[in-house]
Chain A
Amino acid sequence: MAIDAATVRKVARLARIATPEDRLEPLAQELNGIMTWIEQLAEVDTDGVEPLTSVVHAGLPLRDDVVTMGGDADVVTANAPKSVGGFFVVPKVVE
């Protein structure tokens, strides 16, 4: 399952990271090196083993479905690159 330049292009697109053409091949080699090292996991017998997603053995806690905070649009947008009147200003999405 070697990673080639086309795979890097696809994955970089999925990850929304602009990647110049001349970086695709070096990145493919780098990622291949890491993934080849990771392949050793195939040696482990995991038949019938449940995936471990959380080491916290308790169930997730629930709380009442009520508003606990809010009404702070100015605070929420204070770090935005662009905002107007408590709204985030984003690039045009619909042409």
Chain B
Amino acid sequence: MASLTSLTLKGALDGLEAGDFTSVELTRAHIEAVEAARGLNAFLFETPERALAMAAASDARRALGAGRPLDGIPLGIKDLFCTEGVPTTAASKILEPFVPHYESTVTSQLWRDGAVMLGKLNLDEFAMGSSNETSAYGPVINPWRKSGSNQALTPGGSSGGSAAAVAADLCLGATATDTGGSIRQPAAFTGTVGIKPTYGRCSRWGTVAFASSLDQAGPIAKTVEDAAILLTSMSGHDPKDSTSLDVPVPDFAAFVGKSVKGLRIGIPKEYRVDNMPAEIEKLWADGIAWLKEAGCEIVEISLPHTKYALPAYYIVAPAEASSNLARYDGMRYGLRAEGANLTEVYENTRAEGFGDEVKRRILIGTYVLSAGYYDAYYLKALKVRRRIAEDFDSAWEKCDAILTPTAPSAAFGLGENSNDPIAMYLNDVFTVTTNLAGLPGLSLPAGLDANGLPLGLQIIGKPLDEGTVFSVAGAMEKAAGFTAKATKWW
């Protein structure tokens, strides 16, 4: 039998059901993999005792014939989800030493369905970053390397720990969050599958807030089917989140493998950006060919406001962040620095606790919301946001799903973009539009570049139409036949 950590989530569920191995065996194999991979810096906290206890409980349930949808499956949890009794940091010094007394809705649903928690995964501080370099605990290192090179590459961000852990077979799937591309870009950089569902599919309750009108949880997994299984468990209405959608959750896995014949796939001409590497252009063309082969109709569409999405995002997201992060004042939880008076305590606490990128975004957010600039910047950005959403509304008259590259490059070296904020922000050029419009977007690995690094393609769907996204992704996964794995060096 192949090693237990090389299984897919679905393969592991089948093996558990068949009695080929127990959850305790499966979980122990993953705990050992996690311990052996500390050089990747993917986990901030390991919870092996809890994992083994959850695994034993799962085995007991299964023995009684009461198995649940994810029973016995070891998962990693992005350290943005509050987990009862386990430290939650958002990769920031300002929350140290925060231990939640409650469980986020998304993780509680995973445990309800029988999953096992291996630990908490590293990320960019407060999910603000595209390379994992803003983490207060040091960046995650991508398990992938360029062929013949030892250079440390970024796993992407902000869900870099989630993507690296899945790519390195440390867990069978992971939770992640996506505000501008934080699930999909890391998935593309690590050869994994990640989906940001429709805004409101997953409850935001108990997830550390960055930009509330954009934040959405979703899974990172090894296959399209695994991502569908995880998303089914993570989704659902939650009265504790007023933006949570009260709509039925379909069995997303049932859409994987469905025929895509006759579906109209939109190709947005505005996504052919300047300086796009020829390899990504080629990969996109491959994707189009695969879908044609599968019986899809390819239609050219126009999303004319695409180039304004990132600038609009860098007003909306920092504005919401500056408001959300006002809560870190050193009074109720986390760090408290000394000061001569109350204002100084606030100022010193936040100066010490926040990293440079978080401070930068709070300052931008405060600036664009301040008197005299609100209309010129914030209101303007919200109007542009509507223009971007309207672009998609028009596109849906011509197509059923949209195919684009996920990111404008393959994984880059740690430190290569960290001195140029705008160059870093451009990582999200293809992903941020769906956050602004609230649409589902999935990234799947579609090929390798000349250096042997994975590249991803993105499928964007209509609101609440994750089903079609999974069907298209399933067809592409089959056609791409992507089986490459990072060569183990850690």
A binds B: yes
Residues of A that sit less than 8 Å from B by CB: 1, 3, 7-8, 10-19, 27, 30-31, 33-35, 37-44, 46, 49-56, 58, 60-61, 63, 75, 77-82, 88, 90-93
* Secondary structure call for the A interface: loop
CA distance A88 to B332 in the complex (A): 7
Residue-by-residue, is B329-348 near A (CB-CB < 8 Å gives 1, otherwise 0)?
11111111001011111111
Is A44's CB under 8 angstroms from B350's CB? Answer: no
CA distance A13 to B351 in the complex (A): 11
Q: 21 A–B contact pairs at CB < 8 A?
A: A11-B363, A14-B370, A15-B363, A18-B348, A30-B360, A31-B364, A33-B422, A34-B422, A35-B364, A37-B311, A38-B311, A39-B311, A40-B311, A42-B380, A46-B383, A49-B387, A55-B200, A55-B437, A61-B242, A80-B332, A88-B332
What chain A residues lie within 8 Å of B200 (beta carbons)? Answer: 55-56
What chain A residues lie within 8 Å of B334 (beta carbons)? Answer: 79, 81
CA distance A60 to B436 in the complex (A): 19
Smallest distance from the beta carbon of A12 to chain B beta carbons, Å?
Answer: 6
Smallest distance from the beta carbon of B281 to chain A beta carbons, Å?
Answer: 24
How many residues of B are counted as interface, with CB atoms below 8 angstroms from the partner's CB atoms?
A: 68
CA distance A30 to B243 in the complex (A): 34
A-contacting residues, B439-490, CB 8 Å: 463
Smallest distance from the beta carbon of A58 to chain B beta carbons, Å?
Answer: 8
Is B366's CB under 8 angstroms from A15's CB? Answer: yes
What chain B residues lie within 8 Å of A3 (beta carbons)? Answer: 367
> Is B305 among interface residues, defined by CB-CB distance under 8 A?
yes
What chain B residues lie within 8 Å of A80 (beta carbons)? Answer: 331-333
Smallest distance from the beta carbon of A69 to chain B beta carbons, Å?
Answer: 10
A-B contact count (CB 8 A): 153
Smallest distance from the beta carbon of B88 to chain A beta carbons, Å?
Answer: 10
Is A55's CB under 8 angstroms from B213's CB? Answer: yes
Known contacts A15-B350, A46-B384, A79-B99; decide if A41 and B362 are in contact (CB<8 Å): no
CA distance A1 to B372 in the complex (A): 11
Smallest distance from the beta carbon of A52 to chain B beta carbons, Å?
Answer: 4
A10, A18, A34, A37: the one within 8 Å of B344 (CB): A18
Smallest distance from the beta carbon of B357 to chain A beta carbons, Å?
Answer: 11
Is A34's CB under 8 angstroms from B330's CB? Answer: no
Taking A53-B382, A79-B99 as given, write out 5 further A-B residue pairs in contact, using a Cβ cutoff of 8 Å, ordered by the A residue number: A30-B421, A41-B311, A41-B384, A54-B213, A55-B213
Smallest distance from the beta carbon of B97 to chain A beta carbons, Å?
Answer: 8
A-contacting residues, B66-107, CB 8 Å: 97-99, 101
Smallest distance from the beta carbon of A89 to chain B beta carbons, Å?
Answer: 9
